[in-house]
Amino acid sequence: MKQPPTPIRPADDEARRLVRELVHAARFGALGVLAPRTGGPMVSRVAVIWDDGPVTLISELSHHTQALRTNPTASLLLGEPGDKGDPLTWPRISLQGRVCFLDRRSDAHDALRAVWLERHPKARLYIDFTDFSFARLEVAEAHLNGGFGRAYLLGPQDLG
């Protein structure tokens, strides 16, 4: 059997609609960073919200934060498969960019804290620990996979 070629499509309205659904529905994602010791990739789970872009709340004690303090390059996979069928037929988006940490003693932090707790009420248990801060992923490039044969390359302008 021979596979038909899978072209990467540019963004269109269908892709942008799917992206909006995915990024606003996501409560968590898989964060990829560069391990400081080896330079290799390291993937871990993070909680997220979408606030004009992807935001996570992470602890200085975690491996991924230590990695990001060394090298802010990161990737974030959003969009979870449902229970049924082939997991690869469910849409997901892979974002690439750089992470910027927010100062805990800033108005931006306070504003995000309120939005975060609406979406993640149980985070009240640790959100005020001094080792936790918000980090934004500034997206440079995104790959949308809407299921087999539906791959799109997107830019920051196609998200949100």
CB closer to a second copy, 13 vs 34: 34
Helix (H) or strand (E) holding 64: helix 63-70
One DSSP character per residue, 5-42 reads P-PEEEP-HHHHHHHHHHHHH-SEEEEEEE-TTT--EE
Binding mask 100-119 for a second copy (x = CB under 8 A): --------------------
d(CA 62, CA 52): 25
Closest to a second copy by CB, 13 or 105: 105
**H or E segment to which residue 65 belongs:** helix 63-70
DSSP 87: G
* Cross-strand bridge partners of residue 96: 75, 141
Select from 10, 87, 155, 160 the one that contacts a second copy (CB under 8 A): 87
Contact with a second copy (CB under 8 A) among 36, 51, 94, 104: 94
Smallest distance, Å, CB 103 to a second copy?
Answer: 18
Between 13 and 37, name the residue whose CB sits nearer to a second copy.
37
In terms of CB distance, is 51 or 72 closer to a second copy? 72
Q: Does residue 86 interact with a second copy by CB under 8 A?
A: yes
Positions in 4-63 near a second copy (CB under 8 A):
5-6, 27-28, 30-35, 38-47, 59, 61, 63
